[in-house]
Chains A and B, each alone.
Chain A
């Protein structure tokens, strides 16, 4: 491999009671890549993200971001270290406007302290201006400028997903993890999303890892695909390699009625 790995996961394992949700997964993300993680429902994809972002502590394994160990850090420390994420089930701050949501994403990068805020020091005004400016840029970047002062809850569903991406990007991450970003989007919105994800990598230089069920999106967008099934990595490689991997077919088709996921659009 020529490009250095920005994220290097070795032997990651997590069990819930008797269930092994993530089983000895080794996973590398090259700097500047767009990588997909796929697998049937319940395969452990979201749990994998939760482990990387520190929401769960792994039973075994190591996680390194640009060489730095992340195991044992809290989610806010992981965010500060440079990994941002979105959630499969949108988790916006519902009583805040779109702009304020993004400003929260800026939290760990702002310098102003409690006293700055109380005394309205220069530092306070600077950091407020910076946060507002970031929000403006990010809203513009994902194309939601018109919703700036709108409550997050009142945005259309597809735009809520984009707002979550904007909020994550406001943390100026090295790596962004998108958990099913196209879920619930119509084909046109999905096309927009594809362009947006490319632009995150090309224009912002942020490496992207996404979980996705929409195979058309995954196949056209990803440079590499990792397939999980029952917590285990069963395949990895270029899109066409993975598509033709018998183990992957088995994983999706072997599930009878659940096969609907594979090769079709989600929902």
Chain B
């Protein structure tokens, strides 16, 4: 075997520092120009052209492509940093000053990028097909939505009028029940690490979890009733300074919901898992639709507050932003920070014991388990991690929209995020971010721009107007991209390695060596080689 090089020498690409800077300057100028009404007015015909929606969409896309080029091309590190940071921290906010829709679009792209990064952990790394992912996004959005809007006062008022038999004693009982059941669940779980579960201990665990839910409901209800008198003071929701606390809470809440949804479904695989998560995702949406008291049903919750940070507003004012832009600029910076954090967390997990366990499970569950990887726990961590990213972005989404309704969390959102992951390249972090940017740009700018630009052209029949056919065009683009680049726009290192070596292997097999593991199959009893789940009672299947 001499044909396979452990590390293949890459084609040496030319240094493109100059080109990168040139394109950066050019697209930045275009972006700033095309979003400044005054300047456009002085340009006459060119101004009119730049105002054309489709041209505008192209300008925005080209500008964002800068960042991609800075990532992809070989160039001096300072130039890369300059282009990346300059685009995100200088030019975009500057252009956004003239046209806030740019900031809105950027936040939307970053929300989807974070969602795609979260789903990528579940689908791309751990190989668990989750079609209900947007449910976790809803958890974060509603958590903040309920507390930072007049909804909170309504709920308190309701409980004030219907206190039932609840009093301080109920709260004590609820908290006691919660503590005892939680402690016993932890204890039983510890016990199960050492000795196999017996029927009694499994039942005990089930009973304790039931008690935990009851304890939590009791405590929550008691808290609401006892605080009902505060309703008047909270007419517009809680103090905006709680924003930061809720940022943490949304992470936690989504992770817990992730575990709760994950526990019963993660014993299923592939198609079954996809269908069940799809169903549970819809359940969350239907709950939001029907729990009128908490979610205001299909009407939705509005207005939802956001944080107000004194020094940030002062800074924004110094930089010449209008007062109504502070909020959006703040959320822009916050999203940027969040995507940064999420990206770092992703990369670090990927190169750790947990990340390797995820990929091992994706490659071969039976072998992973036999090598000591606990399946349920490892999958739950994937679920909870992915969910927590969605939770925090859901909160930012609620603050940006100042409005949440169940329609923002339907199945198509989940599928949309999945398409970003697949389009960008499963398992590839830069890939899924690019996928999120491309899909969001297509849906929010390019296709609507196309529709608008062609709406009044007489030679296009009304039925065939791109504005009417946005979904169709989007679908065609997706299909075309998947046919051209099935591994995604920026495939992961693993996939590249695999594809690269598949080439090598063809050479090998031509020489009659190097049989492959993937093509092998042939394990007659594989279907029966079931993996054993962690919560399975003693003796498993008898």
The answer to whether B498 touches A93, judged by C-beta atoms less than 8 angstroms apart, is no
Contact check: which of B370, B515, B533 meets A55 at CB < 8 Å? B370
Residues of the B chain whose Cβ atoms lie less than 8 Å from the Cβ of A57:
532, 539-542
Q: Binary interface profile of A, 58-88, with partner B (CB < 8 Å = 1, else 0)? A: 0100000000010111111101100011011
Contacts of A85 in B (CB 8 A): 370
- Give the residue among A85, A87, A148, A167 with the most B Cβ atoms within 10 A: A87
A73 to B192, CA, bound (A): 9
CB pair B523 A74 closer than 8 Å = no
Measured CA separation A157–B532 after assembly (Å): 29
Flag if B494 contacts A95 (CB, 8 Å): yes
Known contacts: A96-B359, A154-B501. The answer to whether A72 contacts B196 by CB under 8 A is: yes
Report whether B366 and A55 are in contact in the complex, using a CB–CB cutoff of 8 Å: yes
The 8 A CB mask of B511-542 against A (1 = contact, 0 = none) is 00111111010110110111111101011111
CA distance A21 to B69 in the complex (A): 60
A150 interfacial contact with B, CB 8 Å: yes
| A96-B494, A131-B353 given; 13 more Cβ-contact pairs under 8 Å | A72-B196, A74-B536, A76-B372, A79-B372, A93-B367, A94-B364, A95-B495, A104-B371, A108-B371, A114-B381, A149-B7, A151-B501, A153-B505
Nearest CB in chain B to that of A75: its residue: B369
Residue A258 lies at the interface, judged by CB distance under 8 Å to chain B? no
Q: Contact between A104 and B356 (Cβ–Cβ < 8 Å)?
A: yes
Residues of A within 8 A of B356 (CB): 96, 100, 103-104, 107
What is the bound-complex CA distance between A72 and B533, given in angstroms? 11
For the complex formed, measure the closest distance between the CB of A154 and the CB atoms of chain B, giving whole angstroms.
Answer: 5
Give the residues in chain B near A16, CB-CB below 8 Å: 528
Residues of B contacting A2 in the complex (Cβ-Cβ under 8 angstroms): none
A89-B523 CB under 8 A given contacts A57-B541, A95-B359: yes
Q: Answer whether residue A134 sits at the interface, using C-beta atoms and an 8 A cutoff.
A: no
Inter-chain contacts of A118 with B (CB < 8 A): 345, 348-349
**B interface residues, tally (CB under 8 Å):** 64
CB distance from A76 to the nearest CB of B (A): 5
Find chain B residues with CB under 8 A from A87 CB. Answer: 366-367, 370, 523
CB distance from B257 to the nearest CB of A (A): 18
Q: List 17 A-B contacts (CB under 8 A).
A: A53-B370, A57-B540, A57-B541, A69-B196, A72-B539, A89-B526, A91-B366, A92-B364, A95-B498, A100-B359, A104-B360, A107-B371, A114-B354, A116-B352, A128-B352, A153-B517, A154-B505
Which chain A residues (123-145) contact chain B, with CB distance < 8 Å?
124, 127-128, 131
CB nearest to A101 among chain B residues: B360
Q: Does A160 contact B (CB under 8 A)?
A: yes
Given A117-B352, A151-B501, check contact A95 B363 (CB 8 Å). yes
Min Cβ gap B9→A in Å is 14
For A218, what are the chain B residues with a Cβ–Cβ distance below 8 Å? none
Contact B369 A76 (CB under 8 A): yes
Tell me the nearest residue of chain B to A105, going by C-beta: B371
Alpha-carbon gap, A77 to B377, bound state (A): 12
Chain A residues within 8 Å of B197, by CB: 72
Residue in chain B with minimal CB distance to A167: B371
Taken together as a complex, chains A and B put the C-alpha atoms of A127 and B359 apart, in Å, by 18
Q: How far is the CB of B528 from chain A (nearest CB, A)?
A: 7
Say which size band chain A's interface belongs to.
Answer: 35 or more
Q: Does B374 contact A (CB under 8 A)?
A: yes
Chain A residue at smallest Cβ distance from B516: A153
A88 touches B370 (CB 8 A): no
Contact indicator A151/B497 (Cβ below 8 Å): yes
| Residues of the B chain whose Cβ atoms lie less than 8 Å from the Cβ of A88 | 523
Question: Would you call B6 an interface residue if the criterion is a C-beta within 8 Å of the partner chain's C-beta atoms?
Answer: yes
Q: Which of B514, B525, B528, B531 contacts A154 (CB 8 A)?
A: B514
Distance of A149 Cα from B523 Cα, bound (Å): 27
Is A50 in the interface zone, CB < 8 Å from B?
A: yes
Assembled-state Cα–Cα distance A87/B505 (Å): 23
Contact among B349, B364, B530 with A117 in the assembled complex (CB-CB below 8 Å): B349
Task: Give the distance to chain B from A89, nearest Cβ to Cβ, in Å.
Answer: 4
Instruction: Tell whether, in the assembled complex, residue A71 and residue B539 are in contact, meaning their CB atoms are under 8 Å apart.
Output: yes
Per the 8 Å Cβ criterion, residues 143-165 of A in contact with B are: 146-157, 160
- Assess whether A112 is interfacial by the CB under 8 Å rule: yes
Chain B residues at the A interface, C-beta cutoff of 8 Å: 1, 4, 6-7, 196-197, 345, 348-349, 351-357, 359-360, 362-364, 366-375, 381, 385, 494-495, 497-498, 501, 504-505, 513-518, 520, 522-523, 525-526, 528-534, 536, 538-542
Q: What is the bound-complex CA distance between A120 and B505, given in angstroms?
A: 37
- The yes or no answer to A226 lying at the interface (CB within 8 A) is no
| B495, B514, B533: the one within 8 Å of A156 (CB) | B514
CA gap between A8 and B55 in the complex, in Å: 76
Partner of B367, one of A50, A74, A91, A114: A91
Given that A85-B370, A154-B504, A156-B513 are known contacts, is A93 also in contact with B354, CB under 8 Å in the complex? no
Q: Which chain A positions have C-beta within 8 A of B522?
A: 89
The answer to whether B348 and A104 touch across the interface, beta carbons within 8 angstroms, is no
> With a CB–CB cut-off of 8 A, which chain A residues contact B367?
87, 91-93
- Which of A100, A150, A168 is close to B6, meaning CB atoms less than 8 Å apart? A150
Does A195 touch B at the CB level, under 8 Å?
no
Chain B residues with CB under 8 A of A76: 369-375
**From residue A122, how far is it (CB to closest CB) to chain B in Å?**
14
State the CA gap A154–B63 with chains docked (Å). 41
List residues of chain B with CB within 8 A of the CB of A94.
Answer: 363-364, 498, 517-518
B-chain residues with CB within 8 Å of residue A23 when the two chains form the complex: none
Whole-angstrom CA separation of A55 from B14 in the bound complex: 53
C-alpha spacing A80/B393, complex, angstroms: 38
The 10 closest A-B pairs by CB, nearest first: A72-B196, A108-B372, A57-B540, A117-B352, A89-B523, A79-B372, A91-B367, A93-B363, A75-B369, A72-B538
Using known A-B contacts A57-B542, A117-B352, A154-B501, determine if residue A71 contacts B7 with beta carbons closer than 8 Å. Answer: no
Chain B residues closer than 8 Å to A105, beta-carbon distance: 371-372
Complex partner residue of B196 from A59, A73, A151, A160, CB under 8 angstroms: A73
Q: Is residue A204 contacting chain B, with contact meaning CB distance below 8 A?
A: no
| Shortest distance from the beta carbon of A96 to any chain B beta carbon, whole Å | 6
**Chain B residues near A97 (CB, 8 Å)?**
497
A171 within 8 A of B: yes
Query: Which residues on the A side are within 8 Å of B381 (C-beta)?
Result: 114
With A and B bound together, what is the CA distance between A152 and B531 in angstroms? 22
Query: Contact between B498 and A153 (Cβ–Cβ < 8 Å)?
Result: yes
Q: Are A71 and B353 in contact (CB under 8 A)?
A: no
CA distance A167 to B516 in the complex (A): 18
Indicate whether A54 reaches chain B with its CB closer than 8 angstroms: yes
Residue on A with the closest CB to B3?
A154
Q: Which residues of A contact B371 (CB under 8 A)?
A: 76, 79, 84, 104-105, 107-108, 167-168, 171
CB distance from B364 to the nearest CB of A (A): 5
B363, B374, B513, B515: which contacts A74 (Cβ < 8 A)?
B374
- CB of A90 closer than 8 Å to a CB of B: yes
Whose C-beta in chain A lies nearest to the C-beta of B540? A57
A74, A92, A93, A112: the one within 8 Å of B369 (CB): A74
A45 to B130, CA, bound (A): 37
B373 to chain A, nearest CB (A): 5
Q: Does chain B have a CB within 8 A of A110?
A: yes
